[in-house]
Amino acid sequence: MSFPSAPTVEQPVEPSITEPQTAAPGVVIRSGKLRLWGIRSAFSLTDQILTSAASFGVNVVLARWMSPEVYGAFAVAFAAFLFISGFYNALLLEPVSVIGPSRYPGRLLDYFRDQLAVHTLLVGGLSAIILILAGALWLVAPQSAISGAVVGGGLALPFLLLLWVARRMCYIMERVKTAVFGSSFYFLFVLAGLLALRHFNLLSPFWAFCLTGLGSLLAALVLFFMLGLRWRGTPAEVETEWRRTLAENWHYGRWVVGSTLLNSLSTQVQTVLVAMSLGLGAAGILRAMQLPMLAMVNALGAAGPLVLPSFSRDFGLGRIQQMRHKARMVSLGLGAAELCFVGLLALFTTPAEHLMFGGKYASYAWMMPVLCFSPVCLAISMGFAHAMRASHKPHFDFLANVVAAPVAVLSALLLMRHWGVAGAAASMVLASAVYVLCVIWIYYTQPDLRRQQGGAR
């Protein structure tokens, strides 16, 4: 079966997929390259651990000290944030990672300034819409905890995503140590803020969002200063450039937008359905049991900023075989690592639940290792999916999500009727399994990808 190709992003010089490879056929990645990747991976993992630890700490503190209903309100608001951040990734983070290294390697700082203008336009408008919706929620249900959580999320959204793009710029410029410095600042700020909120009895979803938003803003400003990123240009020049940059982002990211919408249905719809049908308390339980899974997903996030620019650079230079070799290594390595984590969690489920929640969710603790099979599937698909995106073929990832999203929605509705919260967890794992199977099948069967494979020989 063959799917139609999508238009690719125009480049000044289209790389030939048939030109000779720079690496020897038998040694695609030399030991020096492996050592460099190891060092960068270690710093990337440290960066991701620090930012994830801050988010993980906020979630654990709220889940441990707040009622399930209040934490459920935070879970619903955070699910909305993840939904929006997926579109942000599609329209800014991923295009800048793919287009920046391959098309603008000599003027990255100017390119980043244009992307910050796009960030202001996109996220400022979204934040305003969220605050308006939060006002409407407050008028309808002034006593509900969800309105305060949504207000906090709307205020924090621009700054949370600003830190995301600042860290991504560090990775594109191959300054991973700089990203670690920014994430260290963010982690320490959030840790101190949580202690202060707890001391003054202000711990709530609203203040948790405000705390992480302020910490993100300060950390992003530190990173911009360290990168030497300054605002330049007249208003007319800035407007012209951001319009061109936004159009370029959309040309690439429109397929990723579709993938994001469908992927959000696969991974976030269960939380919303549980809140609607079983209540905010059940949504809080599901969210609490997802925390180890989310930690695994965040750990995988350490690989993304390294993998995608590297794959894009290989594609731009015509090193297709090297890119494919990296894709296999990434998928196998990350999949094995995630499986090891699931095994450890299965052995120590009860102590892990007691450490995080003090026995509050002991009867649901068995769900934690089960949910962790979802990021295992994500890990296995990562190398192949990123290789397709770096090859300017994000529509193949979209097609995989076209299959997985209906499975997620239908299975959630069916399984929740019989198993409640556990049915929602099973739906997440099932949708992830369908997605990874589709990605692998497309990667190894589509004619476009086979031509690249053959051209590299």
Q: What contacts 412, CB < 8 A, 6 or more positions away?
A: 269, 270, 273, 423, 424, 427
- pLDDT tens by residue, 368-415: 999 999 999 989 998 888 888 778 777 788 888 889 988 998 999 999
Does position 120 have pLDDT exceeding 50, yes or no? Answer: yes
Does position 10 have pLDDT exceeding 80, yes or no? Answer: no
Position 21 confidence tier, pLDDT thresholds 50, 70, 90? very low
Look up residue 410 and give its amino acid: L
pLDDT of residue 32: 57
Does 354 fall in a domain? yes
Does 109 fall in a domain? yes
- pLDDT tens by residue, 29-54: 555 565 666 676 677 778 878 888 88
- pLDDT tens by residue, 303-339: 766 677 778 777 877 788 888 888 888 899 889 999 9
Does 9 fall in a domain? no
Does position 301 have pLDDT exceeding 50, yes or no? Answer: yes
Does position 302 have pLDDT exceeding 70, yes or no? Answer: no
Does 22 fall in a domain? no
CA dist., res. 311 & res. 323, Å (int): 6
Does 18 fall in a domain? no
- pLDDT tens by residue, 252-297: 777 777 777 777 777 778 888 888 888 888 888 898 898 899 888 8
Does 324 fall in a domain? yes
Residue 283 and residue 274 in contact, taking contact as beta carbons nearer than 8 Å: yes
Residue 316 and residue 328 in contact, taking contact as beta carbons nearer than 8 Å: no
pLDDT of residue 162: 94
Looking at every residue in the chain, the average pLDDT score rounds to 81
Does position 74 have pLDDT exceeding 60, yes or no? Answer: yes
Residues of the chain above pLDDT 70, percent: 85
Does 19 fall in a domain? no
Please give the tally of structural domains in the chain: 1
Does position 236 have pLDDT exceeding 80, yes or no? Answer: no
pLDDT of residue 7: 35
Does position 449 have pLDDT exceeding 60, yes or no? Answer: no
pLDDT of residue 371: 94
Domain region containing 254: 31-455
Does 26 fall in a domain? no
